[in-house]
A and B are shown apart, each in its own frame.
Chain A
Amino acid sequence: MEQHSETFLDNASAALKNSAQAERRDVIAAFAPLIRSAAIEGFDEFDNLRKHIKRVRQHSLDHLEYYLGQFEYQAVQNGNHVHFARNSDELNSTVLDICQQHDAKRIAKGKSMVTEETGLNAFLQSAGLEVMETDLGEYIIQQAGETPSHIVAPALHKSADEIRELFQSKHDLGPRELPETVDLVSEARDILREHFLQAEVGIIGANALIAENGYSMLVTNEGNGDLCANLPRVLIVCTTIDRVLPLAQDATAMLRLLVRSATGQAQTCYTSFYSGPRRESDLDGPIETHFVLLDNKRSDILASDYREMLECIRCGACLNHCPIYSSVGGHAYGWVYPGPMGSILTPLLTSLEQSSALPNACTSCGRCAEVCPADIPLPDMLRDLRHEENSQKLSAGRWRLGLKVHAWLARHPKLYHALTGLAISTLHLFGHKRGSFVRLPMAGGWTSQRDFPAPQGKTFMQQHQARLKRIARQQNEH
Chain B
Amino acid sequence: MSTSARSEIFARLRDINHQASAERIELDRQALGSAPVPKPPASEICEAFLVNVLKNKGSADCVSNRAEAVAAIGHYIYSHFRSHRLVAGNDPRLAAMPWRDAGVLPRFGRLEVGEPVALSFAQLGVVETGAVMTWTGKSNPAANNLLPEHHIVLVDTTDLVPDMEHAWGRIKQEIDQNGPPRGINFIAGPSSTADIEGQLVYGAHGPRKWHVILMGKVPAEALSRARTIAGV
Contacts and interface: CB of A to CB of B under 8 A. Distances in A.
Interface of A: 24, 27-28, 31, 42-45, 48-49, 52-53, 55-56, 59, 62-66, 68-69, 78, 81-86, 90, 94, 134-137, 140, 153-156, 158-160, 163, 181-182, 184-186, 189, 192-193, 196-197, 213-215, 221-224, 226-227, 229-231, 241, 246-250, 252-253, 255-256, 263, 265-279, 281-285, 295, 299, 302-303
B198 interface: yes
Interface residues of B, number: 80
B134 to A, nearest CB: 10
Contact of A285 (B13, B142, B168, B203): B142
A52 B191 contact: no
B10 A69 contact: yes
B143 A65 contact: no
Contacts of A42: 38-39
Interface stretch (B117-125, B152-160, B178-186, B215-223): B178-186
Interface string B200-212: 0101111000000
Contacts of B136: 230, 279, 282, 284-285
A284 B110 CA distance: 8
Contacts of A49: 35-36
Contacts of B29: 56, 59, 246-247
A285 B183 contact: yes
Given A189-B205, A221-B204, A283-B138, 15 more contacts: A42-B39, A49-B35, A59-B32, A62-B17, A64-B16, A65-B14, A185-B201, A214-B180, A221-B193, A222-B205, A226-B142, A249-B164, A271-B131, A281-B137, A283-B109
Contacts of B183: 229-230, 272-275, 285
Nearest to A223: B206
A241 B17 CA distance: 14
Most buried by B among A189, A246, A269, A295: A269
A62 B18 contact: yes
A272 to B, nearest CB: 5
Contacts of B12: 295, 299, 303
Given A24-B197, A270-B186, A256 B191 contact: no
B150 to A, nearest CB: 14
A227 B180 contact: no
A253 B5 CA distance: 31
A275 B182 contact: yes
B135 to A, nearest CB: 9
Contacts of B35: 49, 52-53, 249-250, 253, 256
Given A83-B1, A252-B164, A281 B138 contact: yes
Interface string B1-15: 110011011101111
Contacts, number: 272
B229 interface: no
Contact of B9 (A43, A84, A196, A265): A84
B128 interface: yes
B197 A266 contact: no
A160 B138 contact: no
A214 B181 CA distance: 12
Nearest to A217: B184
Contacts of A184: 196
Contacts of B142: 226, 230, 284-285
30 contacts: A31-B198, A56-B29, A56-B32, A63-B20, A85-B5, A86-B2, A136-B195, A136-B196, A156-B198, A160-B199, A215-B184, A222-B205, A241-B9, A248-B171, A252-B165, A263-B194, A266-B38, A266-B188, A267-B130, A269-B187, A269-B189, A269-B192, A270-B185, A270-B187, A271-B131, A275-B182, A283-B89, A284-B143, A285-B136, A303-B12
Nearest to B20: A63
Given A269-B187, A271-B188, A272-B183, A227 B146 contact: yes
The 5 A-B residue pairs whose C-beta atoms are closest, nearest first, are A253-B35, A45-B36, A223-B206, A137-B195, A65-B13
Contacts of B168: 248-249, 252
Given A69-B10, A222-B192, A267-B188, A44 B39 contact: yes
Contacts of B203: 185-186, 189
A163 B16 contact: no
Contact of A266 (B9, B28, B36, B129): B129
B177 interface: no
Interface string B30-72: 0011111111000000000000100110000000000000000
B96 interface: no
Contact of A279 (B25, B113, B137, B206): B137
B162 interface: no
Nearest to B3: A84
A273 to B, nearest CB: 4
Contacts of A153: 194-195, 198
A269 B56 contact: yes
B74 interface: no
B55 A266 contact: yes
A65 B17 contact: yes
A253 B138 CA distance: 29
B16 A302 contact: yes
Given A64-B17, A214-B180, A299-B12, A136 B1 contact: no
